Each structure stands twice: as structure tokens, then as C-alpha cells.
């Protein structure tokens, strides 16, 4: 896909997020919307995958460590034809396979069950190490929240990434600066994120996480980094794409009512 096509696809991904959270009347729209452009580029441009063969041994892997933002992942998978887009409306329903957090045993295309914050990078390390041991060419992508990197296990895992020179691993930090209780500075500042990951042995790339062209180029650079892992720090806006949700911490984990839902879809269609 070219940049215009990816931009349009990202709008469809955002629509899917809103549909899922609205029909569930629960979920996490803010962080799902902030990571939508990154996931769109991954699933529709960057990753080597086969939706018709979701367990293909040589596929690239994606670990959404911030698993509460599953609406974004589910919307990408549905639009990539892993399952029906209509199923997004069953999100979080008692009899639905689309749980609040991704479950690799129930959802086609999910590579790792996540939700307990801080653990995704450890799982991604394991996948990347296995790829090295098996002499496979697949890449592993791991998306972290900026609030999530307050977790100590992230930094233990970062040491492992560096120790084993996992150049087949690309970490993406969704730096929207907000978490459930406020700004990340107020809660437990992870800044400077770039210097921290650099000190742990990562190659650092900083981008606008809503600029499709920048995202594409960042992944191209990351593919050519050798002998060490890469960390892409993506500056994003929580709730991006819906005016009344943007940069509002209250939309971390709240569903829109009918009027707000209609307004959100109207804005996206416009």
C-alpha cells in the first residue's frame, strides 16, 4: 500500500476501534487510537504474514504488550481478513472470542496472550531468541505503553534483548504521555525514554507516531540495524482521530455513549 492507502486504512482501523468499544460499552479507546497508525503500517505494509495461514512458521510476530488496547489489534486483524469485521461488535461480550485482552488460543492472528503489563517484552525476547536458534529470518515487534515501561520487568527484559544482540527485535514505545491516573510524569516518569533504552544497548529511532511516512521509514531503518535491538519511540496523541478524546486522560478506559459514538464515526468518515 502507498501512503494515501495506508492513511485511509488507518481511518478504517479507528472506526473498528470505536465500533468495538461502543458495542461493548467498555474497553480502552484512548491508547487504542494512539497506536492505530503504527499497527496499520505493521499489518498492511511491514510485517511478513499470511492471514490465510495464521500459524505460518516463518511469519513475523507482533506482541501487543499493552494488551488492554486490544481493540486496535482486533480491528487490524479483522481488516486484514483474519476474521470478520462484523465480529468487532461482539467485543467483550460474554460469549465472544474477542476478550478484553488478546488471547492467542482464541483469536486468529494473535501471537501472544497479553494484558498483565510489563511482560510482553520478555515474551518477544523469547520469540526473537528462538528465531536466532532456529536460523529463521522472521522479525519480532513488541509494542509497549509509556506508562507500562514504569514496570521493572521491562528493564530486566531490555537487558536480555541487548545481551543476546537481538537485531531481529523491534520495540515500539507508544509515547502518548497519559496513563489511567494522569500524565506519566505525575505517576512515575519514565523520561528520558530514549536515553534509558540507549543505555540498555538499543538503537534509538524517534518519530511522530501518526506520520505514516515516518513510521514506514523507521521500520526500514530498524531492519538494517545489526548486532543490537531497536527501540522506536513514537510520539503519539491519546485518543487520536476523535476530537473530544484527544489528550483526555478520562478516555483511557471509557466507552462512548450513543451521541458520542455517532459523533466519533462522523468525524472519522469526514
Convert the pLDDT of each residue in 170-195 to its tens digit.
999 999 999 999 999 999 999 999 99
3-269 carries CATH number 3.40.50.970:
yes
Res. 103 pLDDT band, cuts 50 70 90? very high
Q: For residue 202, what pLDDT band results from cuts at 50, 70 and 90?
A: very high
Condensed to tens digits (0 to 9), the pLDDT of residues 127-149 reads 999 999 999 999 999 999 999 99
Q: What proportion of the chain, given as a percentage, has pLDDT over 70?
A: 100
C-alpha separations of 238 from 88, 195, 220, 260 in Å: 21, 23, 25, 17
For residues 145-159, average pLDDT = 98
> CA dihedral in degrees (101, 192, 127, 164; nearest 10)?
-160
- Spell out the residues 6+ positions from residue 2 whose beta carbon is closer than 8 angstroms to its own: none
pLDDT tier at 207 (50, 70, 90 boundaries)? very high
Q: What is the pLDDT of residue 31?
A: 98
Please state the rounded mean pLDDT for residues 223-227: 98
Q: What are the boundaries of each domain within the chain? A: 3-269
> Distance of alpha carbon 151 from its chain centroid, rounded?
17
**Which H/E stretch holds residue 142?**
strand 140-145
pTM: predicted TM-score of the whole model, two decimal places = 0.97
pLDDT of residue 109: 98
Nearest to 39 by CA among 84, 9, 73, 11: 73
| Residue 227 contacts residue 239 (beta carbons within 8 Å) | no
Which pLDDT value is given to residue 29?
A: 98
Per-residue pLDDT tens digits for 22-54: 999 999 999 999 999 999 999 999 999 999 999
Amino acid at each position: 500500500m502507498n501512503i494515501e492507502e495506508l492513511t485511509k486504512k488507518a481511518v478504517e482501523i479507528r472506526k473498528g476501534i470505536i465500533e468495538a468499544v461502543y458495542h461493548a460499552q467498555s474497553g480502552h479507546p484512548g491508547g487504542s487510537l494512539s497506536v492505530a497508525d503504527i499497527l496499520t503500517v505493521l499489518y498492511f505494509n511491514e510485517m511478513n504474514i499470511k492471514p490465510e495461514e495464521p500459524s505460518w512458521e516463518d511469519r513475523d510476530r507482533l506482541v501487543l504488550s499493552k494488551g488492554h488496547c486490544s481493540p486496535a489489534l482486533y480491528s487490524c486483524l479483522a481488516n486484514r481478513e483474519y476474521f470478520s469485521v462484523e465480529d468487532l461488535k461482539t467485543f467483550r461480550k460474554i460469549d465472544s472470542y474477542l476478550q478484553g485482552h488478546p488471547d492467542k488460543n482464541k483469536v486468529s492472528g494473535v501471537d501472544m496472550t497479553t494484558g498483565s503489563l510489563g511482560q510482553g517484552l520478555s515474551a518477544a525476547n523469547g520469540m526473537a531468541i528462538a528465531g536466532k536458534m532456529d536460523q529463521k529470518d522472521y522479525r519480532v515487534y513488541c509494542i509497549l505503553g509509556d506508562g507500562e515501561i514504569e514496570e521493572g520487568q521491562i528493564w530486566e527484559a531490555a537487558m536480555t534483548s541487548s545481551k543476546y544482540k537481538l537485531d531481529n527485535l523491534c520495540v515500539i514505545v507508544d509515547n502518548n504521555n497519559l496513563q489511567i491516573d494522569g500524565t506519566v510524569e505525575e505517576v512515575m516518569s519514565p523520561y528520558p525514554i530514549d536515553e534509558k533504552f540507549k543505555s540498555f544497548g538499543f538503537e534509538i529511532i524517534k518519530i511522530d507516531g501518526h506520520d505514516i511516512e515516518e513510521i514506514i521509514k523507521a521500520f526500514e531503518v530498524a531492519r538494517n540495524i545489526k548486532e543490537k535491538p531497536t527501540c522506536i519511540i513514537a510520539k503519539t496523541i491519546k485518543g487520536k482521530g476523535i476530537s473530544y478524546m484527544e489528550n483526555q486522560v478520562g478516555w483511557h478506559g471509557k466507552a462512548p455513549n450513543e451521541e458520542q459514538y455517532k459523533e466519533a464515526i462522523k468525524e472519522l468518515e469526514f
